[in-house]
């Protein structure tokens, strides 16, 4: 029993306001050191480590090299390739999935400003107070207390959101339209909906989020497809990729496989085999990302 890895995932209800899409506390012990793939998603990533620094890199080799990024607070933008994360024998933390249009309110900058690198040290974005917040989180023993304390901190930041300006209403409506269509709508239909030319909409959208509407649509569609795959694994059934592709708006099965290879560096079946234990332990509960 002592040699069996222990994995704990605690999911909290996101705070009101729609800024945070999901909040997960995690703790693992006794696991064999390995690499984990943090997958692209339509959300920003905010992690407060409750253990040692989180070590990341854009490739497996760079995670173990001299240019790996080590930080106690991780902020990640929308990315198009997996982020590799070193998993030590034990780790703990809280991971938030943040709506990209909430970046101004919670982080003090548009999501596009996070696109220059894979991850950013949270204190560079949130300020030195974030380090104090992390220390308080480490001192607490109850997950509910941790979530409540973190939610209060984020609420104070959101209340002072005027410092970062506002999201243009056309961009906000464009994102909402993509979400309603689960990433399956066309750029022509989207631009007509917000009454902007495709070129103008793409420029405004990218300036705010760091990605084009087409890239955002692919991320949203992939998120739904991955969630369907996870549900199949949880139900102990073989995921029907052709059916999932059709239900999620892909042209065909091969386009779903193409997105899996881009976003995971693996085929769907290889990704399931690699993530099976995390999925069964609840690391992908409700189809939400588990990207540490």
Please tell me the predicted confidence (pLDDT) of residue 11.
93
Does a structural domain hold residue 288? no
Give me the CATH number covering residue 119.
2.60.120.10
Does a structural domain hold residue 267? no
Please tell me the predicted confidence (pLDDT) of residue 286.
41
Does a structural domain hold residue 227? no
Owning domain of residue 134: 6-164
Tally of domains in the chain: 1
Compute the distance between CA of residue 244 and CA of residue 5 in angstroms, rounded to an integer. Answer: 32
Structure-token pair, residue 48: 């407060």
Does a structural domain hold residue 100? yes
pTM, to two decimals: 0.91
pLDDT tens for each residue of the chain, 292 residues long: 456 788 899 999 988 888 999 999 999 999 889 899 999 999 999 999 999 999 999 999 999 899 999 999 999 999 999 999 999 999 999 999 999 999 999 999 999 999 988 999 999 999 999 999 999 999 999 999 999 999 999 999 998 866 668 999 999 999 999 999 999 989 999 999 999 999 999 999 999 999 999 999 999 999 999 999 988 888 878 888 999 999 999 999 999 999 999 999 999 989 988 877 666 656 665 434 433 3
Please tell me the predicted confidence (pLDDT) of residue 17.
86
Does a structural domain hold residue 216? no
Does a structural domain hold residue 30? yes
Does a structural domain hold residue 229? no
Does a structural domain hold residue 43? yes
């Amino acid at each position: 029993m002592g040699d069996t890895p222990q994995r704990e995932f605690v999911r909290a209800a996101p705070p009101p306001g729609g800024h945070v899409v999901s909040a997960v506390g995690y703790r693992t012990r006794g696991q064999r050191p390995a690499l984990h793939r943090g997958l692209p998603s339509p959300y920003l990533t905010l992690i407060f480590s409750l253990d040692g620094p989180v070590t990341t890199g854009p490739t497996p080799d760079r995670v173990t090299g001299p240019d790996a990024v080590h930080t106690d607070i991780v902020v990640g933008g929308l990315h198009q390739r997996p982020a590799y994360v070193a998993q030590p024998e034990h780790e703990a933390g809280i991971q938030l999935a943040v709506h990209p249009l909430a970046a101004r309110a919670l982080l003090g900058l548009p999501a596009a400003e996070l696109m220059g690198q894979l991850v950013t040290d949270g204190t560079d974005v949130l300020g030195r107070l974030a380090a104090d917040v992390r220390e308080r989180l480490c001192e607490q023993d109850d997950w509910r207390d941790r979530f409540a304390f973190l939610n209060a901190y984020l609420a104070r930041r959101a209340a002072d959101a005027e410092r970062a300006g506002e999201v243009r209403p056309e961009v906000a409506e464009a994102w909402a339209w993509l979400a309603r269509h689960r990433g399956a709508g066309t750029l022509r239909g989207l631009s007509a909906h917000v009454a902007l030319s495709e070129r103008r909409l793409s420029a405004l959208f990218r300036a705010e989020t760091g990605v084009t509407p087409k890239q955002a649509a692919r991320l949203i569609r992939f998120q739904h497809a991955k969630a369907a795959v996870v549900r199949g694994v949880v139900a102990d059934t073989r995921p029907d990729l052709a059916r999932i592709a059709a239900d999620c708006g892909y042209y065909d099965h091969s386009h779903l496989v193409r997105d899996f290879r881009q976003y995971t560096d693996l085929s769907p079946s290889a990704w399931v085999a690699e993530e099976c234990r995390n999925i069964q332990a609840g690391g992908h509960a409700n189809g939400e990302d588990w990207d540490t």
